[in-house]
Structure 1
């Protein structure tokens, strides 16, 4: 089966900064047709945050949120279609990542909600979703999945590259110039998630714009080193992580264990340093014969303080955003799930076993016909 046409990609990530939606085409070559960011209502955002931790009445709360999110995902897709005058008959499918509320690769369990049957019903468009479980069934981590898209779109035979995605979590994709070398990718640790949680608690803001608040503080080196001693950071790939590990309860325990007074802004600076160091430590592992170009995407690409710190920690690497590769950093992940939907409908694999640890390539996702 060949399925050409326009694909809509839907992404709502760990940062919960909204629903990113794009329309893309892959034939004869990749084209970003249009994009849109759909804001999550604050009440829904709060419900997602609450259900990401164990609590009472979880199944009922999850069931209701599953429907609410599906309708929001459908609305985001329809708003993009209406706003840009797309012909629905040209749209092959919607690829929906869903909203992750649990990711426990050590138990071969992952859960994304946002009922794809409802998305298909409300939009009248075939929807492809539930991408991660098939990889896990084959022994993989189920994440990260975007390196396969990075390989398809960004690999260069002249120069090795690293694609750095800084969302709620941060992950890197190693794209060697030599096609005989393996493409690798994994979560390095927290991206924005701890910084977002800390500023939400103390300044009632969803995120630290440009890292301005972190820039007013000074990182506590003892606390940074203590947090970096977490086994996850030295664990070999394949590996993936999420809010299950990097959350406010963990942060509070680390601050208490450090047992020294640190101001709120210094904690924010410390969290930025944790993100920067955990990323830079992993990129340094790839600075072998030649230093790869680093291209940043995700919400963290707007954090100037973080990017400046990465440039300081990685003086031998050129650091730019994926805009330099003709794809705006805000839309890379949503485009990836459009690509994954295309792979599924064309009976092509969507995972990279060297990245996820799966036994082999697998066709990912489930198809919900219009």
Structure 2
């Protein structure tokens, strides 16, 4: 669909934290990164967030999913309209339900509706093909992480940790040219979602800013001992979670101890991920909203056997990597290149997902 060479592609992401929509321009040919363009963010309102939260777990045909789809399409159309000279859009939509090996995966937001609204071709529905062929359908950013490792000139195996609602890792070897042979990726445990839920339910706030309240608490050792023995952590990757990832039951703890325990659980999930990496990484780079939680970052660094730093340390934008990833994946779909592989989702063979919607 795209001619050979680099193109100006817009990627979008609305994650499990339900905070809003990220959009970012990437200049790429679907293999190498030639440059980064403008970025923008559109927060969901409290009312919109409530509708989306109520729709979590809904499958096609559920009126809650229809209501959520309208919000997702409107928010994306409003945000994407701020950009110009776009050749293609990679539109992830909003995941409401994810059951690989069961009912499948469900992202709301019509690529066709967005293409008509914007007048640009839109690639959407990135996960279904992978799940249909036996994959987990997640995570999907690993091929982009591999391209980033090559772009920054990484000298050895590098891990990207994304701290969204769920935490996931990509181990990649930039010395291997093709990402389908160079990546191992998997969800490694809870991310921000349990901590955000505690703050929302108990204090009416969106998050624990900078991990300030968690810093005042003490992790509950008994809860953490039980947590790290969860069968999920011993399963061989690839493996994926939805927003209902395993997490300690902190209902009996005070606010500070609850947040400290949940942060420690996320850090423990990251540390346990190292058991599955093919070779020790030379460093771990953190993206996603959780990197702003200083308490969480300190706990993660204490549990890792390599240097840990936010991706800003290598001049990347940690808030926009997921959106940029879907721009990159859209370019790969347009070029007929795979977007996932056995090492990233467990799919039987490398597969290209995504559906092209013309305006």
TM-score by length of 2: 0.91
- CA positional deviation for 1:10: 0.6
- In the alignment, the residues of structure 2 paired with residue 34 and residue 65 of structure 1 have an alpha-carbon distance, to the nearest angstrom, of 27
Determine whether 1:7 maps to 2:13. no
1:19 matched residue in structure 2: 21
SS in structure 2 of the partner of residue 199 of structure 1: helix
2:220 matched residue in structure 1: 220
Please report the RMSD computed on the Cα atoms of aligned residues, expressed in angstroms.
2.2
Task: Tell me the alpha carbon deviations over residues 55-91 of structure 1, each in whole angstroms, 9 at most, x when there is no partner.
Answer: 9x97122113212211211111112x1xxxx33xxx2
Determine whether 1:264 maps to 2:255. yes
Any gaps of 5 or more consecutive residues in structure 2?
A: none
Task: Tell me the alpha carbon deviations over residues 187-217 of structure 1, each in whole angstroms, 9 at most, x when there is no partner.
Answer: 0011101000011111111111111111111
Whether the aligned pair in 2 keeps the contact of 1:67 and 1:115 (CA below 8 Å) is no
Task: Tell me the alpha carbon deviations over residues 81-139 of structure 1, each in whole angstroms, 9 at most, x when there is no partner.
Answer: 1xxxx33xxx2111011100001113151000012111111111111100000111111
Whether the aligned pair in 2 keeps the contact of 1:14 and 1:168 (CA below 8 Å) is yes
What does 1:66-77 correspond to in 2, within 5 Å?
66-77=69-80
Whether the aligned pair in 2 keeps the contact of 1:67 and 1:118 (CA below 8 Å) is no
SS in structure 1 of the partner of residue 50 of structure 2: helix
Any gaps of 5 or more consecutive residues in structure 1?
A: none
Greater mean alpha carbon deviation, residues 19-28 or residues 38-47 = 19-28
Whether the aligned pair in 2 keeps the contact of 1:154 and 1:325 (CA below 8 Å) is no
Give the alignment partner of residue 292 of structure 1, picking from 249, 262, 282. Answer: 282
2:291 matched residue in structure 1: 301
Give the alignment partner of residue 364 of structure 1, picking from 343, 348, 353. Answer: 353
Whether the aligned pair in 2 keeps the contact of 1:172 and 1:185 (CA below 8 Å) is yes
2:35 matched residue in structure 1: 31
Whether the aligned pair in 2 keeps the contact of 1:70 and 1:114 (CA below 8 Å) is yes
Whether the aligned pair in 2 keeps the contact of 1:286 and 1:292 (CA below 8 Å) is no
- In the alignment, the residues of structure 1 paired with residue 198 and residue 176 of structure 2 have an alpha-carbon distance, to the nearest angstrom, of 42
1:239 matched residue in structure 2: 239
- In the alignment, the residues of structure 1 paired with residue 276 and residue 338 of structure 2 have an alpha-carbon distance, to the nearest angstrom, of 28
- CA positional deviation for 1:245: 3.9
Alignment length (residue pairs)? 350
1:352 matched residue in structure 2: 341
- CA positional deviation for 1:344: 1.1
CA gap 1:244/1:220 in 2 versus in 1, 3 angstroms: closer
Whether the aligned pair in 1 keeps the contact of 2:184 and 2:277 (CA below 8 Å) is no
- CA positional deviation for 1:6: 1.1
1:175 matched residue in structure 2: 172
- In the alignment, the residues of structure 2 paired with residue 11 and residue 127 of structure 1 have an alpha-carbon distance, to the nearest angstrom, of 13
- In the alignment, the residues of structure 2 paired with residue 324 and residue 359 of structure 1 have an alpha-carbon distance, to the nearest angstrom, of 36
- CA positional deviation for 1:34: 0.7
Whether the aligned pair in 1 keeps the contact of 2:115 and 2:357 (CA below 8 Å) is yes
CA gap 1:175/1:211 in 2 versus in 1, 3 angstroms: same
Whether the aligned pair in 2 keeps the contact of 1:10 and 1:21 (CA below 8 Å) is yes
- CA positional deviation for 1:364: 1.1
- In the alignment, the residues of structure 1 paired with residue 116 and residue 133 of structure 2 have an alpha-carbon distance, to the nearest angstrom, of 30
SS in structure 1 of the partner of residue 96 of structure 2: strand
- In the alignment, the residues of structure 2 paired with residue 134 and residue 330 of structure 1 have an alpha-carbon distance, to the nearest angstrom, of 27
Greater mean alpha carbon deviation, residues 4-13 or residues 177-186 = 177-186
Whether the aligned pair in 1 keeps the contact of 2:213 and 2:259 (CA below 8 Å) is yes
Whether the aligned pair in 1 keeps the contact of 2:342 and 2:349 (CA below 8 Å) is yes
2:134 matched residue in structure 1: 139
- CA positional deviation for 1:327: 1.6
Question: Higher helix share goes to which structure?
Answer: 1
2:48 matched residue in structure 1: 44
- CA positional deviation for 1:36: 0.9
Whether the aligned pair in 2 keeps the contact of 1:138 and 1:359 (CA below 8 Å) is yes
Determine whether 1:123 maps to 2:123. no
Task: Tell me the alpha carbon deviations over residues 230-260 of structure 1, each in whole angstroms, 9 at most, x when there is no partner.
Answer: 21122111100012444xxx75xx357xxxx
